[in-house]
Structure 1
């Protein structure tokens, strides 16, 4: 009989984003709320996160660590495989949105690596688009002045910057000359890229870098 604990980990990239969707999903997957570890305002490309450190330290042999998506745990293939190896060494199972990762299964390992590469690619793509978009907008002067509405191009750029998590809401307000409500409306209108991750569609919540 399995006597191990079930623990959860949730992360959002910016302080303004909400963890509720992830924590609710973790509870639905059997994680007691008091055993959910979180990081807020931390990108997945940063391995040294207080909540993640605490979650890994709390795991004991026979336990299961649950995340809603692999990219909540790591945004690079190397970090994802390192964390998975650390958990396996400690005899701790990794549950990705309801599917338990089995490092002894070749197909399972392949799928895990594919998901890790996808998470890393998405992170690199957002950073590249953000750098290019910001540089182009500065050259053309598109980020200057206050306008009542955003053009489609500026709105897409705003959403990219928001999801990259490198700017606060206040900085985006100043940069684009818009109010907080305009930023949230642009975010809500923007299409959400289809995910190939092992997750439940209803727990996507806030999208981030």
Structure 2
């Protein structure tokens, strides 16, 4: 088995992906990596080495499909190369045989989802910048994430489908930026939660007094 791992910024760490690949049975000396390169960049040295190392009957292993490609076209090019070589693809332990119609269909669906997610984030980034520019806020040092991006990040975070490293990859920021965004959001939420209203307490026990309302009947 040949492993491949990638992160798109220099601040991100490959350790989690490498550990996941080793847990799937890939030897550490057969894991090829790219550091600081996005999934939309097809010219990745580590990916080229991984594909070159694949032989007939091998399996190329990635933790998630978006580590391999972020566009449907690139994903198809890679799967075509694997097909010619007689190599299967394992995505997080789920093996897809490119020569099998069902396997190829499932792969194409996953590739479309990865591309859609990438396009959606880019669109929201552009939208946030346009709004900020219209309001005259694009001056001086800019925040890592716009308000719209922060809201989107928190939506994805609450869904629990992505780790901190994956969120950093999706939004092209360092993990520390993700941590700060989540912490700020939690802090803001706490400040808006109304404190419980304290009622009268029993002096002896310190417990709230049982209040009984008596309504007069006519």
TM-score, normalising length: structure 2:
0.68
Q: SS of the residue aligned with 2:9?
A: coil
Q: How does 1:31-180 map to 2 (within 5 A)?
A: 31-142=26-137, 153=147, 156=150, 163-165=170-172
CA distances 1:164-203 after superposition (whole Å, capped 9, x unpaired): 32xx76xxxxxxxxxx96663215778xxxxxxxxxxxxx
Which gives a bigger RCO, structure 1 or 2 (Cα 8 Å, sep 6+)?
1
Q: SS of the residue aligned with 2:29?
A: helix
Assess if the C-alpha contact under 8 Å between 2:124 and 2:149 holds in 1: no
TM-score, normalising length: structure 1:
0.70
CA distances 1:68-109 after superposition (whole Å, capped 9, x unpaired): 111111111111111111012112221111111112332222
Q: SS of the residue aligned with 2:40?
A: coil
- Tell me the distance in 1 between the aligned counterparts of 2:148 and 2:88: 44
Partner of 2:24: 29
| Structure 1: runs of 5 or more not aligned | 1-5, 170-179, 191-209
- Tell me the distance in 2 between the aligned counterparts of 1:189 and 1:83: 40
CA distances 1:43-79 after superposition (whole Å, capped 9, x unpaired): 1111110110111111122221100111111111111
CA pair 144-158 structure 1, distance change in 2 beyond 3 A: farther
Size of the aligned set, in residue pairs, is 172
CA RMSD, aligned part only?
3.3
Per-residue deviation, 1:19: 1.1
Q: Which has the larger radius of gyration?
A: 2
- Tell me the distance in 1 between the aligned counterparts of 2:81 and 2:178: 39
